Structure 1
Amino acid sequence: MPIVDRTPVAQRRNASVTAVVVTEKRVVAEGVVSLELSAAHGGRLPDWAPGAHIDVILPNGVTRQYSLCGDRWTPDRYQVGVLREPASRGGSAYVHDVLAVGDQIEIGGPRNNFALVPSPTYLFVAGGIGITPLLPMIRQADMLGTNWRLLYGGRRRASMAFVDELSAYGDRVTVAPQDEAGLLDLPAFLGDPRADTKVYACGPVPLLDAIERAMVGWPKYALRSERFVGHTNLSAASLTTFEVTLARTGVTVTVGPDDSVLDVVRAAGADVLSSCQQGTCGTCEVTVLRGTPDHRDAVLDDHERQAGDCMFPCVSRAHSDNLVLDL
């Protein structure tokens, strides 16, 4: 069966820092480079499972999260793919323009918010750089002889990374650049709802929203997706004022409509680590002791959201008048 990360949520996302060296940097598509990273002092890097990502801590002080896309059975090397973002805030631009072979950087993790769960059949859907977390899943499914197919879209073929590598899988892979084939035909690829199939998707928000619409009527939890940004839809709860109580100190603070829980609890003295501040990396997870979170992250799955025992305060808010956090 596929390897599944069954570690409790809070433990699963804790990460140590490792010094690594860039041992290879190569262009794999227009606007995409692949980095190979090895431990700075040699030896084995931490084990990981398909769907995992690492924090890349760059010399310019910026930290970004990138999915591991290499061979998990090669214990001394990690591989990530980095897309040059048009409006880069200092991460992808530094990787593309400055970072060089031989440079030493630090990484955190790996952490896994997108674990591959057991299933007789997998359907994978990737949009652009969203192919990176799916590559190890495909290798795992293929190694185990599991039934799977991939639909891979992008703006044009030249901008789609790792197409040559995927060609080895033959007709299990459908590569559909938009300038050649138009928008992805999701209903045709997904087919009728069925209980024996898990759908894994990663890519831009419009694609993931379209997949959710196409999968209305499928069994609950059939779809697992990883987003580049948190959920942007706003409920009434996210526009109201509520209170947060820090259980360890007894301090209660007020979070206004324009405040983030993270900023408010930090101002009250709580020591909460954070990285992306967009609800995608999982770094700032806190335990909820009482109250109902209004989740706005792209990390938790449906089971974890329903449990309501943790949240990511950089983006999430409250459905209840008060949240009690283990801070």
Structure 2
Amino acid sequence: MSGIVTLTAAGAIDATYRVGTLRRGAFARADSYTREVSGKGVNVSAALAAGGARTAAVVVLGADDVRFARCGLTAPLLRIVEVPGATRVNTSIIDAEGATTKVNAPTPPLSSGAWAATLAALREELALQTATWLVISGSLPKLSGSEELVELAAVRAAAEEHGARVAVDTSGPALDALLAEPAGIDLLTPNAEELSAAVGRPLATLGEVIAAARETVERGVTTVLASLGADGLVAVTADRAVFARADAPFVANTAGAGDAALAGFLLGLTREATATAAGDDPLAVAAASAAEWGAHAVAHASTLVAGPPHGIRALVETDPDLTRVLTPEGEE
């Protein structure tokens, strides 16, 4: 059975605090606290494994935290590349109303030796998993002593060498560079805000998001999966756009929802679909699966999902209403 390999070049420890009330400048005592190995690719692999897929997560972690990582629930999935020191910590604070405040630590640079070791581990896992997809997820570090990000050309070459398609879920300067020259990427997963920045105009309706996504497709991306937050998501190709939305049973933690949605989309593409409202349309099945996994994820207290979604069914539109007005950022 073929698998899916994820690459997290800037691994993290996710620390999640639950508090009654969060007030700026005030003292708050947490009601609960969890700590888990994370990073976007690790989250994607955890969701893929929960959905029954074969997967491996190549992740760069500080040596101080490797023992902890090897004792966690995701340990069997991890292909760890050790670097000196501690792993960065990303912090989520969730208040009684379910709002998530998230602070991510800066991405530490990688030495050229650590990057070479990461590429070697990646090539080995692509071969071991006979991978059909390589998912590049999360922040990309700079090379030590340089202002340049680690070079993705070698990563994409490794995927091509092993016959794996490439999905990318990143942000900031790395996303800007990819959006400027995205040819050869099979799946790109920006949110509406990132698409807006890429095209230099506001995107207030579903039709405007689809038009912006299609501009990226025209530059060489096969599919754009655009997250619309509470409004759902839309999968866009050169000639199609499929909208999907699913309601979560409740909201416990919004961190990691996008990672679960990406995993759901890949599960929908790579596995035989069960009966859904999307019927036998592969793109619609994948979009529905993405929406359902995203809704499933926000009902989890932690960043990582446990098990596949049950009882969540997406609304799917293969001919979406282009005039639909999107919820302004920050509102629900």
TM (norm. structure 2) is 0.34
The structure that is strand-richer by fraction is 1
Larger Rg: 1
The structure that is helix-richer by fraction is 2
Q: Tell me which of the two structures has the higher relative contact order, counting C-alpha pairs closer than 8 angstroms and 6 or more residues apart.
A: 2
